[in-house]
Amino acid sequence: MKSMKSTLPALVATLAIIQAAAADNPIIQTRHTADPAPMIANGKVYLYTGHDEDNANPFVMKDWQCYSTKDMVNWTDEGSPLSVKDFSWVQSDAWAGQAIERNRKFYYYVPMTAKGLGMSVGVAVSDSPTGPFHDALGHPLVHTGVGDIDPTVYIDNDGQAYLYWGNPQLFYVKLNKDMVSYDQSVGIVKVPLTEEGFGKREGNKDRATLYEEGPWFYRRGSLYYMVFAATGVPEALAYSTSASPTGPWIYRGIIMPKSLPKLSFTNHPGVLDYKGHSYLFYHNEDLPGGSGFDRSVCLEEFKYNPDGSFPTILPTKEGPAPIGHLNPYESTKAATIAWETGVQTETSATEGVYVTDINDGDYIKVRSVDFGSRGAKSFEGSVASLAVGSSMEVHLDGIAGPLIATLAVPDTGGLDRWKVQTASVSGAKGVHDVFFVFKGSQGEKSFNFLSWKFRKSSR
């Protein structure tokens, strides 16, 4: 992101050395992201986030972003699937939403400031988890006039779908099977916010319970969970459980305490089980240039206690371990990143998302790449450039680790004129983290990187 270059260059240079060795939190570094909402589809995890514009105060959020992974450490930028511009009735504010799949379609529930109404929850639909999504109704799905933000959606085992939302209240509706309307006979239900159900808040006569905002509703086994941002700002993450999808709720405790270093004054949970592992998504302000209005999505793996309760989960720099290996012999988008320093991503109408804003010394880290016992013989990179003298070094296990290839980047005649360059590879066997280290780039818009692939050695 620009702020990582223009405002804190010395700090970024120092962080590059530290982060290359250890950390992968926050999990997205090319832009400020917030309000994580994971979803599983087609065997992948798709992560939907808000997008905080740089140097915002207060929030400036114009679109949503989507990322995908199979290993929980390498995140592929899938671009923006939806924007406030896609809703004719909306004025501004692409705040926290959640998507879900039903009948091979994907429904994205998002809160926005509606013209003449204020915050309201709309719904968009797509045939693909990466979009593009389009407005399903042409008007809000739900509106109460009382803090209609932070929708969370879940389809129960019997097929009944529920949409919860709200700050300072908590509401729900029973969605119809079309997912774009709700049961009018039940209507909008206001959840009783009791101390038994949502904990006791001290010193605030207007809010008796710990519930603040950001509900995340799901079922695991026989228990229904309501995880939420709690306690008031700065926000902790807490949860309640129920034997029924509509309560009554029993408060169970704090998951992530407030007032931890670099947590922003807001927080927002997303909880996911994937390939036998459990994960908590949240956000902080830990990237250079970060603030309470320029946040960054993070991730921790955890294990439920035997009774289904949460342990205390503390933020880490490291994030989770990989749960799979990346295959280097398949074409991989350059915007597949575990950690990066200096670069950004942009979207081409014809090529999709690519890496740009590349300068000398910038790098991309990809984790847990399995070259196999025979190893790689060559490396291919699709690049576009308007300069001569640039190159890409490929290192193992660190920005100064073993050099296995150097790819020359010629002047291709334009930043949208892609050319596949090839370099020989030596010493790439087994499982390694791979670092693409950029050298000699001349200016922020002189070199773009689209995709890469290794070729396997024949012996």
- DSSP SS3 for 263: coil
> For residues 432 and 434, what is the distance between their CA atoms, to the nearest angstrom?
6
Q: What is the pLDDT of residue 204?
A: 86
Q: What local confidence, expressed as pLDDT, does residue 106 receive?
A: 98
What is the C-alpha to C-alpha distance for residues 355 and 191, in angstroms, rounded to an integer? 45
Residue of 310, 315, 309, 314 whose CA lies nearest to 297:
315
* Domain segments of the chain as ranges: 30-302, 332-456
**Tens of each residue's pLDDT in the chain, 459 residues:** 444 444 434 344 444 444 445 579 999 999 999 999 999 999 999 999 999 999 999 999 999 999 999 999 999 999 999 999 999 999 999 999 999 999 999 999 999 999 999 999 999 999 999 999 999 999 999 999 999 999 999 999 999 999 999 999 999 999 999 999 999 999 999 999 999 999 999 988 889 999 999 999 999 999 999 999 999 999 999 999 999 999 999 999 999 998 777 789 999 999 999 999 999 999 999 998 999 999 999 999 999 999 999 999 999 999 999 999 999 999 999 999 999 999 999 999 999 999 999 999 999 999 999 999 999 999 999 999 988 889 999 999 999 999 999 999 999 999 999 999 999 999 999 999 999 999 986 666 678 999 999 999 987
State the pLDDT at residue 6.
Answer: 42
Q: Is the separation of the CB atoms in 34 and 96 below 8 Å?
A: yes
Choose among 65, 63, 66: nearest CA to 85: 63
The CATH fold assigned to 30-302 is Tachylectin-2; Chain A (2.115.10)
| Cβ proximity of 180 and 136 under 8 Å | yes
For the chain, how big is the Rg over CA atoms in Å? 23
Encoded amino acid at 218, one letter: Y
In whole angstroms, what separates CA 317 from the centre of its chain? 16
Tokens of 91: 């004025």
* Preceding omega of 58 cis (within 30 degrees of 0): yes
H or E element that contains 9 = helix 9-21
Among the four given CATH numbers 3.30.70.360, 2.40.110.10, 2.40.100.10, 2.60.120.260, the one describing domain 332-456: 2.60.120.260
Q: The dihedral of CA 268, 61, 95, 124: what is its sign?
A: negative
